[in-house]
Amino acid sequence: MSEQKESSVLFSLKELMNLEEDRIKSEEAQKAAAAAAAEKARVEAERAARDAEEQRIRTEEERRRNEERRSREEAARLEAIRQAEIEKARVEAEQKARLEAMAAQQHHERSLAALQQDESKKKLRKLLVGGAIASVLVIGIVTVVAVDSAQKNEARIQAEAARARELEEANKRLEAQFKESEGKMAGLRDQLATAKDEATRLALQKQLEAEQQKQEQLRRGSGGRPAAGGAPASGGGAKAPCNCAPGDPLCSCL
């Protein structure tokens, strides 16, 4: 009987040991499965983040190319308008000079025809010849003034186009700074969301607040930035002198 009891006890102990080993193996298997699932989730999250960043970069590059294309088209349009205005001013000046020359010539011819019928009016003929010469001189002066006015208009249009380009470049630089700040803030928010310890979170929060202050400064600066060329955007400054010729239809001083 004692041997049977001893055998029964040993069998029970062995069964208990087997059950404990099975439990330990089951726990280890569960831990390994959980670790594998966590690693898989981390890898997938990193891949999703990389895909999102690549998509953002592609979208930003496409937007930049579209903006450059629109800027080139706008510059070409402004240049075409400028050239058309210059050509129009030149043609009008030449046409006016030709009409005045023709009118002076016709008047001179009529005067000569009338004087030829009356030899006694030789003195008057001389006066009319002198007047015709003076008319030719006046026409020449008018032509020079018209050409000079066209040149001044061209210089003014070029200066305005340069100021417009400077303002556009300043706007692009400001927009790029905003985009860069937004990207930094998005990265800091992502890092803050995945931070593990309090010290890292505090450091990231300080960086995020500093970037927000920088963006606010950019926003305030954009509201009060002077216009291109260093002149104030509105009011307060002395008005630039008008260099347009009298009667210039393209003058912007009015």
pLDDT of residue 125: 58
Residue at 214 is within a domain: yes
Residues with Cβ within 8 Å of 189's Cβ and at least 6 positions away in sequence, in order, are 208
Look at phi and psi of residue 50 and say left if phi exceeds 0, alpha if psi is from -120 to 50, else beta. Answer: alpha
**In contact, 93 and 146? CB cutoff 8 Å:** yes
Domain boundaries, position 85: 9-220
Residue 225 resides in a domain: no
At residue 226, the 3 state secondary structure works out as: coil
**Percent of the chain surpassing pLDDT 70:** 69
**Residue 227's pLDDT is what?**
37
Residue 118, by phi and psi: left (phi above 0), alpha (psi -120 to 50) or beta? beta
> Measured between alpha carbons, how far is residue 60 from residues 65, 168, 171, 174 in Å?
9, 19, 17, 16
234 vs 251: CA distance, rounded Å: 20
Q: Do the domain assignments include residue 120? A: yes
Domain assignment present for 2: no
pLDDT reported for residue 170: 78
Q: Is residue 175 part of a domain?
A: yes
Give pLDDT, residue 187: 86
- 226 occurs within a structural domain: no
pLDDT for the residue 164: 78
Structural domain includes residue 230: no
Q: What is the tally of structural domains in the chain?
A: 1
Segments of the chain with pLDDT less than 70: 1-7, 9-11, 112-132, 134-136, 138, 140, 142, 144, 146-147, 150, 221-254
Contacts of 193 (CB under 8 A, 6+ apart): none
Provide the whole-model pTM. Answer: 0.29
Look at residue 192 in the predicted model and tell me its pLDDT: 80
